[in-house]
A and B are shown apart, each in its own frame.
Chain A
Amino acid sequence: MARYVIRRILVAFPTLLAVYTLVFLFIRVAPGDPAVAALGDYASAEAVQALRERMGLNTPLWVQYGATLLGYVRGDLGRSLITNISIGSQIAAVLPHTLELTFAGVLIGTIFGIPLGIIAAVHRNRLADYLSRVFSLAGISIPAFYLGILLILAFAVKLRWFPVMGAGDFSNPVENLRHLALPALALGIIMIAFVARMTRSCFLNVLREDYIRTARAKGLSERGVILLHSLRNALIPIAAVLGTQTALLIGDSVMTEIVFSRPGMGKLIVQAMLQRDYIALQSLIVVYASLVVVINLLTDLSYGVIDPRIRYE
């Protein structure tokens, strides 16, 4: 397995290089000037020119490309063109909040989505199935930010159970959880919908398999058939979806971060894009791509845990 992991990590480098190259080119093709974005429209033309010089935007593109790449090799993600803050320190400040929110959303999605999907599959075309499908459809259709606003109005403004804004300090777990509850629920409900649909579909396939018929013919209880024989076999495609959705959720959480005024990677990426902060955007996307690579690797490795017959060669 170690060889497999090393090989996957080595393969990730060309992927990350391609991602960096594409972002580097696309952001420069788009109109917009980071110097104007940084200084505002009242700044003098000389000041804009001086800042462009200082930002290194007047140097040839290949020099800018190489300098940033060299920085990555040294582990330096560079400094924001707008704030001059180290991008590494910015990411270090917000990444724990993003990961916390993402994994809380995935956890809620898994805990509630899998049982909901199983119930729907087992009670196919009956009331429980219909209700589950309606919930899933609604969950997938409602945008996370809108759900977030509804949750704020109900549980923060009306009932005053949770705070509206910010991310709690990690040193105070209770306060941290209070701040996390609503945004995690906003993302979690969407994850429940995805996971429930996927689980239902996978379960229906598995329930038609010969070994399930055999298990039932042996006189195994229905609970045993579902939990021992069906669930494990259905889990591999569910794990694949969970992996993909986790990666997507990191990027998709931007609207949730905005609605709940939480710091996070998504918010930084959008801000960098709007301000044409080339260096920040490149580095944030590379870090995001690295996270996707890691999550995909962990997902692939989880297959071996779910099904011991799977070997990593």
Chain B
Amino acid sequence: MGNRGRRDCGEVVQMKVRLLILGCWFLSIVATGQVLRIAFDAADLKTLDPHYAAATMDRAVVDMVFNGLVRYKPGDITVIEPDLALSWEVSEDGLIWTFYLRPGVSVHPFPGMPDGYELTSEDVVFSLIKAADPQRSAYAGEYTGMKFEAVDKYTVKIVLPQPISSALFLPKVANYSGGFIVPKRAYEELGPRFATNPVGTGPFRFKEYSPAQKVVLVRNEHYFRGTPKLEGVEIWYMPDVTARLSALLTGEVHVIEGVREQAWVEAVKRYPQVIVDVFGPGETEVLHINMTKRPFTDLRVRQAVAYAIDRNELVTAIGPDVAEPLCAAVPPYLPGGLTCAEVAERGLLYDVDLAKARELLAEAGYPEGFEISAYITERASYRKPFENIQAQLARVGIKLNITVVDHSSFHSLIRQDANPLVHYEAWRPSADAFLTRFYHSASRVVVGTKPDTNFSHVTDIDGLIEAARYELDTEKQIALWKEAQIKLLEEMASYPLYILKFVFCRSKSVDYGYELKSSLALYPSINELTTLK
């Protein structure tokens, strides 16, 4: 080969190298361009401290930034699997739970520790103590009387005041509410700023917050389950649904919070580039009847209300894809929940029967019906069904006057016992939480020792709730929970209406990386497996 040939060959090699570099650069551009944008129905965030985060848009960020000792399997909340703890065991007396932590878990970098540090039992104990402190946590009541101890660098011991079943205990240390682990040194370093600069161990770490616009997360390269496939996630606050859908259609966002109404779901399904996900666990919609307010002090009147309401009509109005009938206080997908078939077996379904409703009203001394007034929030998921109930009750002569107020006022007024009928939408993580918060005498609004959301003023199932809470035999525990709900239906303290599922839409380019059936974070969880094609 002559000089010229050698030179040509060299130029070809150089060109190939250049092309290779260009190709790598292009690929890196493509790879780094994988930032998923998700838009929520919210004007802004409230708090990103996981021990306070309650609203969907806050839970979403927290879900991506933090871990629990255990976690709900992504996409399926009926399965609990290891998270920060590789394994755990419980003592024979059921009082001591020991968790063995995963070594080598990195805490995200934060001011003061730009390389982060390794999460240890010291952090876990600190976090659980914080979760149990009402001054620093909204969920302190879940941890009353518990003691936390770091046995060694990777072992944590939790001592309970009384043994409880794993179905009740594990959710307290899972990736939900107080169970999220807050790294000690980051929390101490950031102080009050932690609520808008969260630092955790999750697949994504906090980068920046633009008030009333967005939160930006970037991937945690050192995530213990492997580097996330996405480069980052942007959480946008977009309270207008038309704007969210428009942004999804133009590709400016990839996932949006939808509207929990059949008509909307069907309209969006027509767009070929969009996938609509309707998933659980959903929220229970229940009509609580205040048994201390006349005429609802009379069982016959409460039963008349039940016979006058047609829950299937409500489900049809909202849509069978997004709503399903609820026949008892605890939804059937939770251990201890009652299915409609089980309720029907006991003859407590209260199938709509207007003649019977009128007969009961006449027996109670209200042959012409009566008139009541109630507040309802302006939010459509409350207001629309309440207006439907208003029309249904009118058929038996019960005139329900509705005053629509803003959501904050509604929550305040119903906690002051202002309503004879309260339509309430809720999600609780266990049968115990549902029954305690809504039906334990201590939870009665205004007069309870721990006033909460017992709007019906139920007082006679405390024994069953407490017996179930401390029952370690799962079958017996479930039987007690079911018995409590049967009593509630017999005295018609509340009329269960339906379960309202969650609706999110995504571009076809989004693959969550798991099958989405249910999510406790109340949004389709974005994790290390999520990709954007």
Which residues of A approach B to under 8 Å, CB–CB?
Answer: 30-33, 36-51, 54, 82-85, 89-90, 93-94, 145, 149, 152-153, 156-157, 160, 163-167, 257-264, 267-268, 270-271, 274-276
Contact = CB atoms under 8 A, between A and B. Distances in A.
Nearest to A50: B134
From A33, A166, A260, name the one whose CB has the most chain B CB atoms within 10 angstroms: A166
Given A41-B411, A42-B139, A261 B211 contact: no
Contacts of B55: 40
From A38, A40, A271, name the one whose CB has the most chain B CB atoms within 10 angstroms: A40
B212 A94 contact: yes
Contacts of B441: none
A85 B45 CA distance: 11
Contacts of A37: 408, 411
Given A44-B134, A258-B43, A275-B46, 8 more contacts: A32-B409, A41-B453, A84-B47, A93-B210, A258-B239, A261-B236, A263-B210, A271-B43
Given A31-B405, A31-B413, A32-B412, A38 B47 contact: yes
B233 to A, nearest CB: 16
B22 interface: no
Q: How large is the interface on B (under 10, 10 to 19, 20 to 34, 35 or more residues)?
A: 35 or more
B411 A261 contact: no
Contacts of A90: 211-212
Interface stretch (B2-10, B103-111, B244-252, B351-359): B244-252
Contact of B135 (A30, A54, A157, A166): A54
Interface string B201-242: 000000000111110000000000000000000001111101
Contacts of B428: 42
Given A90-B211, A167-B213, A47 B239 contact: no
16 contacts: A38-B46, A38-B47, A39-B52, A40-B55, A41-B54, A44-B139, A46-B134, A46-B141, A51-B138, A82-B46, A83-B44, A83-B196, A156-B250, A164-B247, A261-B243, A263-B212
A163 B412 CA distance: 40
Contacts of B415: 36
Contacts of B47: 38, 82-84
A84 B192 contact: yes
Contacts of A36: 408, 411-412, 415
Contact of B450 (A31, A40, A45, A257): A45
Given A83-B195, A261-B238, A47 B405 contact: no
Given A83-B47, A83-B195, A33 B253 contact: no
Given A47-B141, A149-B242, A83 B54 contact: no
B451 interface: yes
Given A149-B242, A261-B240, A44 B413 contact: no
A46 B252 contact: no
Contact of A156 (B39, B46, B177, B246): B246
Contacts of B213: 166-167, 261-263
Contacts of A93: 210-211
B426 interface: yes
A305 B415 CA distance: 59
Nearest to B238: A261
A39 B50 CA distance: 11
Interface string B35-48: 00001000111110
B210 A44 contact: no
A132 to B, nearest CB: 30
Given A31-B405, A263-B213, A40 B138 contact: yes
A85 B237 CA distance: 17
A152 B44 contact: no
Contacts of B43: 258, 267, 270-271
A274 B139 contact: no
Interface in B445-476: 450-453
A264 B213 CA distance: 9
Contacts of B253: 165
B155 interface: no
Contacts of B406: 32, 274
Contact of B240 (A39, A54, A258): A258
Contacts of A31: 405, 408-409, 412-413
B250 A164 contact: yes
From B134, B212, B249, name the one whose CB has the most chain A CB atoms within 10 angstroms: B212
Nearest to B453: A41
A43 B246 contact: no
Nearest to A271: B43
A271 B212 contact: yes
A166 to B, nearest CB: 6
B269 interface: no
A31 B54 CA distance: 21
A48 B54 CA distance: 13
A43 B451 CA distance: 11
Nearest to A90: B211
A33 B408 contact: yes
A165 B54 contact: no
A46 B140 contact: yes
Interface in B131-181: 134-135, 137-142, 177
A153 B243 CA distance: 9
A84 B239 CA distance: 22
B456 to A, nearest CB: 16
B407 interface: yes
A173 to B, nearest CB: 18
Contact of A165 (B139, B243, B407): B243
Given A83-B195, A267-B212, A274-B406, A163 B252 contact: yes
A80 to B, nearest CB: 9
Contacts of A84: 47, 192, 195-196
A47 B195 contact: no
A39 B138 contact: yes
B469 to A, nearest CB: 16
From B54, B177, B243, B405, name the one whose CB has the most chain A CB atoms within 10 angstroms: B243
A270 B44 CA distance: 11
A262 B43 CA distance: 10
Given A160-B250, A259-B240, A261-B243, A47 B46 contact: no
A81 to B, nearest CB: 10
- What are the 8 closest A-B residue pairs judged by CB atoms, nearest first? A40-B54, A32-B408, A44-B141, A43-B138, A263-B212, A31-B409, A46-B134, A47-B138
Contacts of B135: 50, 54
A283 B137 CA distance: 27
Nearest to B45: A83
A51 B240 CA distance: 30
A258 to B, nearest CB: 5
Given A40-B55, A83-B46, A47 B137 contact: yes
Nearest to B213: A263
A48 B52 CA distance: 11
Given A40-B55, A50-B134, A276 B243 contact: no
A38 B408 CA distance: 10
A98 to B, nearest CB: 10
Contacts of B453: 41
Given A82-B46, A153-B246, A160-B250, A47 B134 contact: yes
Nearest to B251: A160
